[in-house]
Amino acid sequence: MKLLSAKQIKDWDQFTILHEPITSIDLMERAAFKCVEWLEQHHYTDKQLFIFCGKGNNGGDGLAIARMLSKQIIPVSVYILETGQKGSEDFQLNLIKLQQNSHKDIHFIQNENAIPVFPSYAVIIDALFGSGLNRPVDGVMSKLIEHINRSGCEIISIDVPSGLFIDSSSKNNPVIKARHILSIQSTKLAFLISENADYIGQVHNIDIGLKKEFFSTVDIKNELIEDDLIRNIYKHRAPFTHKGNFGHALLVAGSYGKMGAVVLAAEACIRSGVGLLTCHIPQCGYIILQTALPEAMTLTDFNSSFITHVESDLSKFNVVGIGPGLGTAKETRTALKQLLQQFRKPVVIDADGLNCISLENEILATLPPQSILTPHPREFDRLFGISGNDFERIEKALLYAKSLGCVIILKSHHTFIATPSGKGYFNNTGNAGMATGGSGDVLTGILTGILAQGYSSVDAAIIAVYLHGLAGDLAARNLSQEALIAGDITDYLGKAFLQISTY
């Protein structure tokens, strides 16, 4: 799914108006009808409804919804925020239509004293501000949003929660906290950003028939990963193949007390379909890994507790995964530098591998082209500098992915994949149960295994992140989010592969 900017959303409306053709007021009518249909299907029309409208087109949607509900003899109270400015043309037309429909329960909020008190069992429909908002609300607008949020009422926002910017940070701004969002036509970028979590409830895309041909006319930077994209990436196995066709991966990982991370990453790597896996580990982990995972070959370091040296002949490996349980000893950092000097195929770096780089930042410049880095936000900030908000961090990820010629996977609820081409992908699988120790080690293993099989770095990142989240969803469905542990993600990886193989 393409993620449009606020301007592109407006342009999409205009493209449809021109090419369907349809008038803007009739397009608004279509949107309102679809929203009313959703309210009916979800049994909100038998509840006490309060609709709050601004004077732009989002408010016009709210007025049209009120008119359609009142025609069905559904009681609804309408409150219009009076900003002192004339409403948009479509807002004005819908206000006239509502008044001509003999709807009497219409009120204007001109100051704080006019903000109504409503029972906590009421349902509030928020149609104050739409996707075109570009400045923080203040004054009575801010007070109204705060009042609605404190009401305890269930809140349904039309298109976007009012006060939320679509493609820039709304941090510390007054924003409606919506339980449901009836997003007109498509998901918005702001719905995928962690800093907006308090405002984003369940998102329901309301299809109003905007022309899909619009996408061929615009350059779209960000995309939400969906089934169609996975279907185009996923490679079905040919019958006449052998283990040599699916790559040989090296996993450099582990230190004393952290061998569990190696086991998690190694098993996930093997379960992702790699032909061969060799693990370079400290001596203390030899019995652990040989016992836990007989499918993996094992090389041991000279040191008993951490990595100090990686074998010199790396030519037989297609990819190297670095980091799970690695530690950040000085000798380990030196070994990492030496490895990156010798091995110029893509590497996957996570966890302590990233921490080693943040301690010796010059290592970044030595990364092989098309390598994959997998930081969470704190690790990202240690590598590339502190960001003021999530939008800034995402833009910075795109900037560094391009300058380094690598893929950066910025882990979060909707993990973001920044690519060297400047395009970004947001993942749409996964759940809060995966916020558990070892989940990142599993992702490292999946990435390493898939990259070894001949996928491009970008495709490997997309499919690995998607599979990781999908396996977590399948596990949570059977085990609960609370009981989910990292190893469960690997256990359900096979079912995740079976699912994407049917796309």
CA atoms of 84 and 410, how far apart (whole Å): 43
Q: At which residue do the structure tokens 């930042």 appear? A: 361
Categorize the per-residue pLDDT at 104 as very low, low, confident or very high, splitting at 50, 70 and 90.
confident
Does the pLDDT at position 186 exceed 80?
yes
Give kind and range of the element (H or E) at residue 24.
Answer: helix 24-41
Mean pLDDT for 375-380 is: 96
Does the pLDDT at position 428 exceed 90?
yes
pLDDT tens digits, one per residue of 41-65:
999 999 999 999 999 999 999 999 9
Does the pLDDT at position 101 exceed 90?
no
Of 107 and 84, more confident: 107
Phi/psi of residue 223, nearest 5 degrees: -140, 145
Token pair, residue 17, equals: 């108006």
Per-residue model confidence (pLDDT) at position 337? 96
Counts of helices then strands in the chain (DSSP H, E): 16, 18
- Which CATH superfamily is 2-219 part of? YjeF N-terminal domain (3.40.50.10260)
Mean pLDDT of the chain: 96
pLDDT tens digits, one per residue of 72-88:
989 999 999 998 888 99
Mean pLDDT for 184-189 is: 96
Per-residue model confidence (pLDDT) at position 316? 95
Give kind and range of the element (H or E) at residue 249.
Answer: strand 248-252
Cβ–Cβ < 8 Å for 284, 304: yes
Least reliable range by pLDDT among 91-105, 420-434, 450-464: 91-105
Share of the chain above pLDDT 90, in %: 96
Per-residue model confidence (pLDDT) at position 313? 87
Q: 463: which strand partners?
A: none
Cβ–Cβ < 8 Å for 371, 281: no
Which of 24, 23, 36 is closest to 63 using CA atoms? 36
CA atoms of 444 and 239, how far apart (whole Å): 28
CA atoms of 246 and 221, how far apart (whole Å): 32
Mean pLDDT for 376-403 is: 97
Categorize the per-residue pLDDT at 103 as very low, low, confident or very high, splitting at 50, 70 and 90.
confident
Please provide the CATH number assigned to the domain covering 227-500: 3.40.1190.20
Residue 82 exposure: Cα atoms within 13 Å on the Cβ side? 11
CA atoms of 131 and 166, how far apart (whole Å): 6
pLDDT tens digits, one per residue of 303-362:
999 999 997 789 999 999 999 999 999 999 999 999 999 999 999 999 999 999 999 999
Token pair, residue 29, equals: 């009518």
Q: Could you tell me the pTM of the whole model?
A: 0.96
Per-residue model confidence (pLDDT) at position 38? 98
Cβ–Cβ < 8 Å for 194, 413: yes
Identity of the residue numbered 158: I
Domain with CATH 3.40.50.10260 in the chain: 2-219
Per-residue model confidence (pLDDT) at position 41? 97
Per-residue model confidence (pLDDT) at position 102? 76
For Cα atoms 311, 315, 317, give the angle at the middle one, nearest 5 degrees: 85
Q: Name, in order, each residue with C-beta under 8 angstroms of 250's C-beta and a sequence gap of 6 or more.
A: 277, 278, 279, 280, 314, 317, 319, 320, 321
Share of the chain above pLDDT 70, in %: 100
CA atoms of 98 and 67, how far apart (whole Å): 5
Nearest 10 degrees: Cα torsion 67, 72, 73, 78: -20
For Cα atoms 444, 447, 452, give the angle at the middle one, nearest 5 degrees: 125
CA atoms of 108 and 52, how far apart (whole Å): 10
Per-residue model confidence (pLDDT) at position 442? 98
Does the pLDDT at position 170 exceed 90?
yes
Q: At which residue do the structure tokens 């979060």 appear? A: 412
Per-residue model confidence (pLDDT) at position 380? 97
Mean pLDDT for 217-238 is: 95
Q: Name, in order, each residue with C-beta under 8 angstroms of 28's C-beta and a sequence gap of 6 or more.
A: 57, 60, 61, 64, 90, 94
Q: What is the DSSP string of 383-395?
A: HH---SSHHHHHH
Domain with CATH 3.40.1190.20 in the chain: 227-500
Secondary structure of 171-227 as H, E, C letters: CCCCCCCCCEEEEECCCCHHHHCHHHCCCCCEEEEECCCCCHHHHHHCCCCEEECCH
Per-residue model confidence (pLDDT) at position 481? 98
Q: Name, in order, each residue with C-beta under 8 angstroms of 460's C-beta and a sequence gap of 6 or more.
A: 372, 447, 450, 451
